[in-house]
A and B are shown apart, each in its own frame.
Chain A
């Protein structure tokens, strides 16, 4: 049945979107930061992965090992440079939106300047392969990407649940003031969380490098999709990001199948407007004035 095939493709896509969105929602949950530049950094990581493949023959999946730590450090540095000064201001979240808006342009401009504006795509052998399961085919590249995504998301979950710093992160996500009162160093937690968010973006970028053709300006469409995802799932909720990603990816696959791939993004935006009208805090979000 064509429907099962579409479902398979949708779920695989959802796995990758979940990874892409996880860093974004983590940043909001811990620090109330909406990072409009998140997808721009995913594209940056994709470029890094692409060039590592083209010039050093390093497989994109392997490059994750190099990219994640570097992006982690990049994230911590960016946080320390850009956010402390605006920390106490009223409407802090809106300020972060505007600032990361600017950051996205800086990143895009630099990428366009140094990498050029043409479409790129890394092509390791598995990018073209597919596994045949009876009537259905499973693209190998997507399967590997989703598996990597699953592993990384489980790692994130384990970090949050079992490590002391992870405990501190979770506490800060639930109630920043309470965390401060029991002695969590919220500044340190925020810095580390930003690093983690960037590291997740870095890993996602490495996957993107062989999954989708990308170019510097592509990040706008992705950030809009990711934002729609996390609004649907509930901003700040990792569970929501995963559920939102899988749900919307599957629906958009069906839309793509019936109306044509060009209309797939409409799914995400439609869902965004719908959820904002019906249940603004999203599926798993807290009932605050978002």
Chain B
């Protein structure tokens, strides 16, 4: 049974139009998935809807056997799904340590909280060095590390990351992707990733979903998807595609 199963998902913002028209994807535990597609395809909206930030208008979301569609973000977090948004959304005036502690907000047991904190500092020595530094004074790459570290605090089963390389220099991007690779390899966390830097994103992933105009067009192994002729049609021929629909 897949860890995360999305069927027929429809969603939009406020009273606006449907951004997700009909999305169905299956995510197996322990693997890394990359969601790619042109701008406006609904990739971010998909992650936000699973995370509970956007309410679904139709469709089913099942995680670990339980239905999680329409639940509050904190309930979904408790179920084991973590979301790292595009702009990282850190607490600017809190220190690295305080940001990480906030990441463990739902953990009531102080011992477990401290254990997780130790673990994150071990995984990210850079963060340990700067533990007293205010988040807003850190570089883009460090902020992204902090965002990832914060997400790890509650021991998620599924981590959803929206464009981790956004605004980062190429060298830093590689480091971030090394971290993402180790999430799956060393910690066994399932990762669902959005990346505009398609090559890099696919390099760290096992499987790819291709979204356009609010639906999943096709999917396939990450290593082979770029050779699929449909990709070219999608990205290059998308004007014709959109004209048709």
Contact = CB atoms under 8 A, between A and B. Distances in A.
Instruction: Name which of B90, B92, B102, B103 has the most chain A CB atoms within 10 A of its CB.
Output: B102
A182 B93 contact: no
Nearest to B74: A183
Nearest to B72: A185
Interface in B71-109: 72-74, 77-78, 83-85, 89-94, 102-106
A175 B73 contact: no
Contacts, number: 56
DSSP class of B's interface residues: helix, strand, loop or mixed? loop
Contact of B92 (A168, A175, A184): A175
Interface string B203-229: 000000000000000000000000000
B90 A180 contact: no
Interface in A31-61: none
Contacts of B105: 167-168, 171, 182-184
Contacts of A182: 77, 102-106, 150
B244 interface: no
Contacts of B128: none
B85 A174 contact: no
Interface string A174-213: 1101111111110100000000000000000000000000
Contacts of B13: 88
Contacts of A88: 13-14
A174 B92 CA distance: 7
A174 B94 contact: yes
Contacts of A187: 72
B53 interface: yes
A207 to B, nearest CB: 31
Given A182-B103, A183-B105, A174 B91 contact: yes
Contacts of A89: 14
Given A175-B92, A178-B90, A182-B150, 9 more contacts: A167-B102, A174-B93, A175-B89, A179-B102, A180-B53, A182-B102, A182-B104, A183-B106, A184-B105
Interface of B: 13-14, 51, 53, 72-74, 77-78, 83-85, 89-94, 102-106, 150, 154
4 A-B pairs closest in CB distance: A178-B89, A183-B74, A183-B77, A183-B106
Interface of A: 88-89, 167-168, 171, 174-175, 177-185, 187
30 contacts: A88-B13, A88-B14, A89-B14, A171-B91, A171-B102, A174-B91, A175-B89, A175-B90, A175-B92, A177-B89, A178-B89, A178-B90, A179-B91, A180-B53, A180-B74, A181-B51, A181-B53, A181-B83, A181-B84, A181-B85, A182-B77, A182-B106, A182-B150, A183-B73, A183-B77, A183-B78, A183-B105, A183-B154, A185-B74, A187-B72
